[in-house]
Structure 1
């Protein structure tokens, strides 16, 4: 039996996604549930000088602004928002500054900022109640979701649309390659022995969050509930996670506390799981600290093993996968697994289809500088 939903609890009434897996949230979830990676040779730019050469890319040369508008429109349509309801909605956009903007004349740079992108997207989609841009790297999308949920729960907003997007670009590819963070074998192997690093991926996603009361009044479909959220920093190193996962553990505890839930209530974890040696080991320690004995039992996987690391859009894309998991009752496969790593003793989902019916799932993200987020998603 579903838990009673308070009037101000944030619920998700619409979502959409675009990734190398295909267009739409369903195809993304189905590929994740089957553990079918979408990696291939980079075709968007020359990678001959790099160690790595793979990414999870959309075909051709998509334009991020256009794809963001299309996905946001799809999410609003799925939520059955009228023009008036859109006009009363805020937009929170997670993205990054276009690397090419730094090379423009000073007078032109203001038109190529994340804030300008948010304003343009809000105008294109009829979202008139304000907009904000988030540039906090790999937790940008999940941080925007947490802010949207907080605004709804405190009554300062009835509805918020959150969008996020990243398309694999040469500048970021070069930076991660130079830092030896990209997997030269072109596969993401989270928490596995023999893992060699991450693979970047294209990702665009949007979700509509609103209060449960607002959704009931207009008869909107409720896909899932955002029961809790947590954020914490450890400021351990500019690019390395705290080896004890302290920030991640606090973020998980905060999410559980906000939702009034215990570790025993968690039925699945969509982990940050980048496939890098230090990050996966630290995340394991953090999960053990936050969940105690439950950490060895709860099923864990990282959907990055299928769609790649989509940087600023990671939190939102992975939230879409997590919602799909709760609705379909099949857990995403931790693809690329080669064998156990003694530093990563988690209950990994290594084969599918893995059927389960979790009531609550965690979606975790972390970023350079020690930022950590945890979103606790409840079944509708």
Structure 2
């Protein structure tokens, strides 16, 4: 039996750029930088915009949002506006990638023809304060994934919607194909990653195995790469487990270094960037680089963009509680 293809046929993105935060007062914070949009954007309004751009058209919607009381009125408003009943995901930094994996599995199994995945997070004072108090945010104001001297993450705005459907898409050009997906938990600690990287390595291998793709066929890896001293080292260990000797040939960068960490929306933003890289054929640099770290022995893209040399791209994410996801993307 031939598997039903899972095509990306629509994509819409809103994101920010790094600058000192002006949306709320950070004068008593140790960190002061985030990747925000100008002014004080409205999350519900931006979600409605991106859903309109990709075309809901009565399609079921899977929605990744910050898991607090603010999500309820947003969900209710979107339901009323578009006539849908969104399935909501709130699983921290893998919320959106979990939604994509679920959507892809439903389409591949022939249980859905078209699904829309949307996600949104706008940097706000409460979460900023919590991350700052926990010393998770970069005090230097620069996110440096896998680099010597990295000192933490920076938050960022992201509102993204993506349409997935069985192909060929009627009247729509496909942007990419979701060729594989994998999920795995390690349960090592409530917020610290397993230093062995075993959970993320299992998720990566599951995505590759599902697609029938070998490590040498992956042309670039969009890493989780938050700039955390502990987290980046654990991720490097995971990549070594998953790719073995092939890791030395695999270009790696974390686009969080360019757009920040958008929490529940981050994985969907990074998937959107990965699809754009597939279209452009150029692998982006890992910004903020100061020099190699012995704990992160990776082929990090640092000097200039590189030409994509293999047909599949992998984007990975990890979250508190030991949740890990991997999404594999190929040409349509």
Which residue does 1:94 correspond to in 2?
64
Q: Aligned partners of 1:362, 1:75: CA distance in 2, in Å?
A: 23
Structure 1 unaligned residues grouped into runs of 5+:
1-5, 21-37, 102-111
Which residue does 1:9 correspond to in 2?
5
Q: Aligned partners of 1:7, 1:153: CA distance in 2, in Å?
A: 6
How far off is 1:97 after superposition?
A: 3.3
Q: Aligned partners of 2:200, 2:66: CA distance in 1, in Å?
A: 23
Count of equivalent residues? 331
Between Structure 1 and Structure 2, which shows a larger proportion of helix residues?
A: 1
Which residue does 2:103 correspond to in 1?
148
* 1:7–1:212 CA contact under 8 A, matched in 2: no
Which residue does 2:77 correspond to in 1?
120
1:353 to 305, 309, 312: 305
How far off is 1:119 after superposition?
A: 4.1
TM-score by length of 2: 0.97
Write out aligned runs for 1:223-238 (5 A): 223-238=175-190
Q: Secondary structure at the match of 1:117?
A: helix
* 1:326–1:358 CA contact under 8 A, matched in 2: no
* 1:197–1:275 CA contact under 8 A, matched in 2: yes
Q: Secondary structure at the match of 1:193?
A: coil
How far off is 1:355 after superposition?
A: 2.0
Q: Aligned partners of 1:240, 1:91: CA distance in 2, in Å?
A: 32
1:160 to 115, 119, 123: 115
Which residue does 2:204 correspond to in 1?
252
2:145 to 190, 194, 218: 190
Which residue does 2:323 correspond to in 1?
371
Q: Aligned partners of 2:181, 2:300: CA distance in 1, in Å?
A: 23
How far off is 1:204 after superposition?
A: 0.6
Write out aligned runs for 1:152-301 (5 A): 152-213=107-168, 215=169, 218-301=170-253
* 2:65–2:71 CA contact under 8 A, matched in 1: no
Which residue does 1:138 correspond to in 2?
93
Structure 2 unaligned residues grouped into runs of 5+:
none
Say if 1:169 and 1:152 are closer, same or farther in 2 by CA, change over 3 A: same
Q: Aligned partners of 1:318, 1:376: CA distance in 2, in Å?
A: 12
Superposed CA deviations along residues 132-152 of structure 1, whole A, max 9, x for unmatched, are 000000000100000000110
* 2:50–2:161 CA contact under 8 A, matched in 1: yes
How far off is 1:124 after superposition?
A: 2.3
Q: Aligned partners of 2:232, 2:289: CA distance in 1, in Å?
A: 13
Q: Aligned partners of 1:257, 1:378: CA distance in 2, in Å?
A: 14
* 2:146–2:232 CA contact under 8 A, matched in 1: yes
* 1:92–1:118 CA contact under 8 A, matched in 2: no
Q: Aligned partners of 1:71, 1:201: CA distance in 2, in Å?
A: 17
* 1:138–1:313 CA contact under 8 A, matched in 2: yes
TM-score by length of 1: 0.85
